[in-house]
A and B are shown apart, each in its own frame.
Chain A
Amino acid sequence: MTIDELERSLRAAGRAPAPEPRAAFADTLEDRLRAGIVLACLPEAPSVARRRVHAFPLAVVAAAALAAVFGVTTLVNRGVLREVRVATASDALAVLPDGTVDGMAVGEVMPDGTRIVTGEEGRVVAGNVEIGPNQEAVVSGGEMRPSPPPAPPTTVPAPPSSPPATKPKPNSPKPSSPPATVNSKPSVEPAPPSPAVEPAGPGPAAPPTTASGRQYRPKDTTTTTAAAPTAATPQPAPADMKLAAWFKDKLVYLTWTSYPGPDFAAYVVLRSDAPFEPRYPVDGHTSVIARIQDPGTNHAFDNVDQPDGALYRIVAVDKQRRPLAQSPAVQPQAVSSQQKTTR
């Protein structure tokens, strides 16, 4: 085959029809990109940076290494280096500043702005700081800074004069959106201005929460009376919100597209056990795990024994607790070790 023939064949190949990307693939990928969840699909592939380093002459590499050591030392001395290295990690998730959800492994570097959440059996040690089960921490200024320890569970709903839902969290990541406070606020149910429109039944609709914001499903929360709505039962909202859910061990990370419309009052995060889809108004299979009044908040954590057996839905509601929009029911996907992003 001559070069001309080869070139003709290549040109023909370039004009050959290729199948359209599958809709399911395209939608899933768009959801992940919108959620900012970036996981390496080709984990074995070396990064561009590493590949180029291999091409450098040894002398250049050595010089760079010396410079790096000098630079790192300088930065450490000046307190500029803003990352921590994980010494111990179990049952923990990290949400990197770019929104990437990742499991944690020993030796990984967590950049400034990373949010760390531990599960019921979780423990993370980085530097001289350790956090235990059901805790949150934020990497800030080169240190892992734990959130305040959880207070004893308090029951909700709270009175109308209860504190605002958004708890300020300094040094929180994701500057483009408010701090990750979905679970760092009490599940405050504002008093309904009209009688009994809140569709949640007793118990599960207002689960115990902790001051740290982690909200857990009570052991017996799967029973919710379906007869709760008594007036003006809301109609199902259009399924025009997107929700993505990921889990590692028992820890579930949820993120969704914000509701941009008017009349927004809160996001209601729902969970059910498969195969029953979470519904709003809640039914006997649905639990309300969070109510978030900040329209800019777009993520939440949950802790559940069998994440892959749970289904989640996010519903935007107005002040009368009527649904404005909702997502489809979503089953969390595992954050596998192969998909981990090493930072």
Chain B
Amino acid sequence: MTLVQPLPVAAPLDEQTLVERARTDRDAFAQLYRLYLPRLHAFAYRRCGSREVAEDVTAATFEQALRSLDTFQWKGGGFGPWLFRIAANELVDHYRADERARGRARALHLAVPADATDEDAGAGDWVLTDGLLAALAALNPRYQKAISLRYLSGLSHTEAAEALGTTKPVMAVTLHRALRALRRTLDGSSLRSGPLVPCGLAAVPAEEAS
């Protein structure tokens, strides 16, 4: 199994300098782009399970960042959480705009590998479960963003709170409520995350899988 390795992130001072330079220098922005592209793309992909949507969201995120860079103010979390906040907003907007996504059988990668000890397991060996995508998309936007930023972005708790625009304690409370809401949504839905199923089997509702 190959886990995603955290990308080398420039020291805060360097990144801050780069961000300041990026306000007027497209090359500097391109450096930031290359630094964050894999992480943002992975975040969007995990959230939606679609390469096309992930690319759309990634592009929209960087374009929005470029448009809004003049308004960005460096705070504790730095540039990364700000960028992920934009991405989370774009994802919420995407699902809000595309209601069909809720009924789509595209699955969220909300699972563990079939055999977590199998070092050779590739991306195709990951088990997809159905329903989580619809359940997540059914939550209110703030809960969607809290869950996505905390669990799917690779951000730390502090960074996720920064990206959500709140403090750590409030983030914890929001996250707890979001998880409860997600569980309620799953319980009330015919589509459940269900047990993990072996690779190669289609992701099916829990009742059918059993």
Q: Is B11 an interface residue (CB 8 A)?
A: no
Q: How far is the CB of B57 from chain A (nearest CB, A)?
A: 7
- Contact residues on B (Cβ < 8 Å of other chain), bracket: 35 or more
The contact of A33 among B24, B26, B94, by CB within 8 Å, is: B26
Q: Is A13 an interface residue (CB 8 A)?
A: yes
Choose, from B76-84, B148-156, B166-174, the stretch at the interface. B148-156
Q: How far is the CB of B199 from chain A (nearest CB, A)?
A: 13
Q: Is A3 an interface residue (CB 8 A)?
A: yes
Contacts A21-B55, A21-B58, A45-B94; is A13 near B151 (CB within 8 Å)? yes
Q: Is A284 an interface residue (CB 8 A)?
A: no
Q: Is A19 an interface residue (CB 8 A)?
A: yes
- Residues 6-18 of chain B: 1 if any A CB is under 8 Å from the residue's CB, otherwise 0? 0000000000000
The contact of B63 among A10, A11, A33, A51, by CB within 8 Å, is: A33
Nearest opposing residue in chain B for A4, CB measure = B179
Contacts A13-B151, A19-B45; is A42 near B60 (CB within 8 Å)? yes
Contacts A11-B151, A34-B27, A36-B26; is A19 near B66 (CB within 8 Å)? no
- Residues 224-263 of chain A: 1 if any B CB is under 8 Å from the residue's CB, otherwise 0? 0000000000000000000000000000000000000000
Complex Cα spacing A281 to B150, Å = 56
Q: Is A9 an interface residue (CB 8 A)?
A: yes
Q: Is A29 an interface residue (CB 8 A)?
A: yes
Q: Is A7 an interface residue (CB 8 A)?
A: yes
- Residues 110-137 of chain B: 1 if any A CB is under 8 Å from the residue's CB, otherwise 0? 1111000000001100100100100000
Chain A residues with CB below 8 A from B33, complex form: 29-30, 33
Complex Cα spacing A233 to B111, Å = 62
Q: Is B59 an interface residue (CB 8 A)?
A: yes
Q: Is A1 an interface residue (CB 8 A)?
A: yes
Complex Cα spacing A41 to B55, Å = 9
Contact between A36 and B4, CB atoms less than 8 A apart: no
Contact between A18 and B42, CB atoms less than 8 A apart: yes
Contacts A1-B193, A9-B112, A14-B46; is A42 near B94 (CB within 8 Å)? yes
Complex Cα spacing A248 to B82, Å = 34
Contact between B111 and A17, CB atoms less than 8 A apart: no
Chain A residues with CB below 8 A from B60, complex form: 40-42, 45
Contacts A1-B193, A15-B3; is A42 near B123 (CB within 8 Å)? no
Complex Cα spacing A10 to B151, Å = 6
Q: Is B34 an interface residue (CB 8 A)?
A: yes
Q: Is A176 an interface residue (CB 8 A)?
A: yes
Chain A residues with CB below 8 A from B41, complex form: 18, 20-21
Complex Cα spacing A51 to B192, Å = 30
Q: Is B186 an interface residue (CB 8 A)?
A: yes
Contact between B111 and A16, CB atoms less than 8 A apart: yes
Contact between A42 and B93, CB atoms less than 8 A apart: yes
Complex Cα spacing A142 to B55, Å = 37
The contact of A22 among B25, B42, B55, B111, by CB within 8 Å, is: B55
The contact of A29 among B3, B59, B97, B147, by CB within 8 Å, is: B59
Contact between B154 and A42, CB atoms less than 8 A apart: no
Contact between B58 and A29, CB atoms less than 8 A apart: yes
- Residues 73-93 of chain B: 1 if any A CB is under 8 Å from the residue's CB, otherwise 0? 000000000000000011001
Complex Cα spacing A52 to B210, Å = 44
Chain A residues with CB below 8 A from B93, complex form: 42, 45-46, 51
Chain A residues with CB below 8 A from B27, complex form: 34
Complex Cα spacing A11 to B97, Å = 27
Contact between B108 and A13, CB atoms less than 8 A apart: yes
Residues in chain B within 8 A of chain A (CB atoms): 2-4, 24-27, 29-30, 33-34, 37-38, 41-42, 45-46, 51, 54-60, 62-63, 66-67, 89-90, 93-94, 96-98, 108-113, 122-123, 126, 129, 132, 147, 150-154, 176, 179-180, 182-183, 186, 192-193
Supply 16 further A-B pairs (C-beta < 8 A) apart from A17-B4, A18-B42: A10-B152, A11-B151, A12-B112, A14-B152, A16-B46, A16-B126, A19-B51, A19-B123, A20-B41, A36-B66, A39-B63, A40-B63, A42-B57, A45-B60, A45-B97, A176-B25
Residues in chain A within 8 A of chain B (CB atoms): 1-3, 6-7, 9-22, 25-26, 29-30, 32-36, 38-42, 44-46, 48, 51, 98, 176
- 6 CB contacts below 8 A, A to B, read A6-B186, A14-B46, A14-B154, A41-B57, A45-B60, A46-B93
